[in-house]
Chain A
């Protein structure tokens, strides 16, 4: 209806990040944003543009250039009662903060038996495909997913981005919010102006299908859908499930879909070995073995350091590679 139309805005994914931050900062004075270049500059990807003018330098804070410092002080702030949303400029620069994330953010609630908590959202652009310099293209979601005490969220649409970010900010525990920067500006979607949440831990069925299930997330969702549509032209009806939250993972949705189709392909940018496709495959194997009709395929990055961009198109899974796996799995 017209009121509904007037209350939505047509946003890109990165604009939805900003809109999500803005509406949560308006809702809750304890929400603050901090990081490198997030203030006056509005972030190198413009994810925090306008927030400094709207909320001032005490809530949108340009910090010294120090990732461990940003995350470590955010932990102290969160324990004291604020809800910091630190930005890591690129996920490839998070490693100096890794100790703070795994040794403290992830453990503070356990260590203090619930007295101290860490309601913090670490935002980081991640993933490849943007012709970036070295260290700007990796997908390390498995590392954070492996860490008990952290939640890991990867949106793939503008609508989900705002809703998942709001849910993450309101969550009482630390969340690593990985933003697929390849699709920051790839497409637009109607996003409500008012605050809303998309529940953490719930996968979304992006395409219903009967013949096989494809599990993916983040920037891989779109080429997976393209591959599924292409395969559909030959009568292969693939279901595409966007996991959205990697920890806690919606294993019910995975198993339910697999029980329907009996065949699965898992798609992620990250290298194959130790990647989450292995976890998903093992979950299916344990919970739905007797439904299995074909080997489960993994379409992933290769087990190589992420290449410079002259070769990144060969590294990144794209629709042809995904479709190839869909056809192989369907025919197996």
Chain B
């Protein structure tokens, strides 16, 4: 890619009513994929509501909601090929589902069962809770793939707050220096718990920080799934098959890209957070007018890809899929207590064997009920 976007120009395809903006290029996505994109977003929204409700009912622990952020997650994840990887933070349930992680697995993780974090064969790295730390893992894995000659792109998600962390700087700096096939996807949802975007950085945009690391930064409307898909596709293509940096390039790195996806989390940071303490309802309502789901739905109806009947059918199938996932997660037997001693190392040490045996003796002597009282 020889021409570089200005990191202050926001890429947009759809307007707030789902019409195509003047001069915008609509990405080349077939109708089935567009329907899938819509369905994944509906699924994520419904999953999110049910997950928050499960937490409120005491059926699940603390949960980080994603409503409002579906376009950024689904649009970016759908732009990846099978061989590509994602490195999520802790809010990318929708992206993980697109990449093959079952909703029941996600629920089990938030229900406190670590087995839910084993994403089977999906090219999804486990959830990273400490902010920005996964950026280095993505850079390292992309670097390893490059060193071993594998042709894959590595997409890493993080939030606006993460850009203030040292690991953001170190990760993007290494990525530029070693020119690794990474796509850094910043879900700028405006709030790091209660701290607003303006308090994270004096930079006009977060995307422009890429220039300091010698590669391209792109600003995109993160509530426009088509725009997100487009910029992610471009970044993934560049990661795998870079051209020369070009005269207008910010530096010598040809593969990495930083994408800043402007969006908003409609809900709380987690179910333990009360956003009414730090932000106005007016602000939330303003952002809700950009809700990605009605926008894409309007676009697809306009093109005859969706109608009332298919929208209803998708709604029903989404509800049934989430209900099945909740059922599966709740029916899964809790992990055996001894399992916490497995996977500390490849083989249990003698001391871990002793401690596991001690726990079993206590369970036998007192029974779980008395022991856990």
Contact = CB atoms under 8 A, between A and B. Distances in A.
A99 interface: yes
B136 A69 contact: yes
B204 to A, nearest CB: 26
Contact of A114 (B127, B130, B141, B343): B343
A167 interface: no
Given A69-B173, A76-B137, A248-B351, A115 B167 contact: no
A149 B130 contact: no
B114 interface: yes
B334 interface: no
Interface string B104-116: 0000000000110
Given A99-B130, A201-B349, A73 B136 contact: yes
B139 A73 contact: yes
A58 B144 contact: no
Interface string A18-34: 00000000000000100
Given A82-B144, A252-B350, A75 B137 contact: yes
Contacts of A64: 170, 173-174, 177
Interface residues on A, range: 35 or more
Contact of B344 (A32, A82, A149, A171): A149
Contact of A76 (B143, B177, B351): B143
A68 B126 contact: no
Interface in A74-92: 74-82
A116 interface: yes
B15 interface: no
A68 B136 contact: yes
B140 A75 contact: yes
Given A111-B117, A151-B345, A76 B173 contact: no
B115 A104 contact: no
B148 interface: yes
Contacts of B139: 72-73, 76
Contacts of A99: 130, 133, 167
Contact of A248 (B127, B130, B142, B350): B350
A68 B166 contact: yes
B36 interface: no
A16 B142 CA distance: 32
Interface string B130-152: 10010111111111110110000
A68 B136 CA distance: 8
A73 B343 CA distance: 22
B336 interface: no
Contacts of A110: 114, 343-344
Contacts of A251: 350-351
Contact of B137 (A79, A81, A117): A79
Given A77-B143, A96-B166, A66 B173 contact: yes
A202 B173 CA distance: 41
B17 interface: no
B148 to A, nearest CB: 7
Contacts of B351: 248-249, 251
Given A66-B173, A115-B118, A72 B148 contact: no
A73 B174 CA distance: 8
A318 interface: no
A103 B129 CA distance: 9
A123 to B, nearest CB: 17
Contact of A113 (B118, B128, B170): B118
Contacts of B130: 99, 103-104
A103 B126 CA distance: 12
A113 B339 CA distance: 9
Given A32-B147, A64-B177, A77-B144, A104 B137 contact: yes
The residue among A71, A78, A171, A248 with the most chain B CB atoms within 10 A of its own CB is A248
Interface string A97-117: 001100110001111111111
A330 B65 CA distance: 64
Nearest to A108: B126
Contacts of A77: 140-141, 143-144
Contacts of A209: none
B170 A66 contact: yes
A117 B118 CA distance: 12
A69 B136 CA distance: 6
28 contacts: A63-B177, A64-B173, A64-B174, A68-B166, A69-B167, A69-B170, A69-B174, A76-B140, A76-B143, A77-B144, A79-B141, A80-B140, A80-B148, A104-B130, A108-B126, A111-B126, A111-B127, A112-B119, A113-B343, A117-B346, A148-B344, A149-B344, A149-B345, A171-B346, A172-B346, A173-B345, A201-B349, A248-B349
Give the top 7 A-B pairs by smallest Cβ distance, nearest first. A76-B140, A72-B136, A73-B140, A69-B170, A76-B137, A80-B144, A76-B141
Given A64-B173, A104-B137, A252-B350, 12 more contacts: A64-B174, A68-B167, A69-B173, A72-B137, A76-B142, A79-B140, A80-B141, A109-B344, A109-B346, A111-B114, A114-B118, A117-B346
